[in-house]
Amino acid sequence: MTKFLKLILISFLVFFINYDSNKHFDKYYIPIDRLCMIRNVTGYPCPGCGMTRAHIEVLKLNFKKAFYYHPLFIFPSIIFFVVIFKKRFKIANYIYHNNYIIISMLLIFIIVYIIRFILLFPNEEPFTYNYDSEFYRAFKIIKNILK
């Protein structure tokens, strides 16, 4: 079983290292900016917007670009490590059971989101407004009805 999981992990790594966000993959291609359900419905970027692109850039060893896409790209890795190894390592177990650390991470995430929203929205990736969102479409329909 572990060999199978390693094979899957290596396959994902190879895919993301070779991934080119400017290419289109036939009919199965999903643009990265369409992955976020919050952005697709509301049009506004969510706190995690840019995280996928950041991790793709990390796998390409382009840390500067990863930091640009999302400065907290390391947080999911830390959380993943803590959840997986909470019984094996004391530090992971300590973090897992310490609400102050978890709440601090959430607060940092929210503060960074607000700062990024103020500085980047609506003109810079990944904080652009989605004019194809459901809310924007509904707004246009209502606006046309009220004219």
Domain ranges of the chain: 2-23+32-146
Long-range contacts formed by 136-145: CB under 8 A, 24+ apart? 136/43
Q: What is the pLDDT of residues 76-132, one digit of tens each?
A: 888 888 888 888 888 888 888 888 988 998 999 999 999 998 988 888 888 888 888
Positive/negative CA dihedral, 50, 52, 56, 58: positive
The answer to whether residues 91 and 80 touch, using CB atoms and an 8 Å cutoff, is: no
> Average pLDDT over the chain, rounded to whole?
81
Mean pLDDT on 61-70: 92
Q: Give pTM, 2 decimals.
A: 0.69
pLDDT digits (tens, 9 = 90+) for 114-127: 999 898 888 888 88
Please classify residue 11 by burial: count the beta carbons closer than 10 Å to its beta carbon, then call 0-12 exposed, 13-18 middle and 19+ buried: exposed
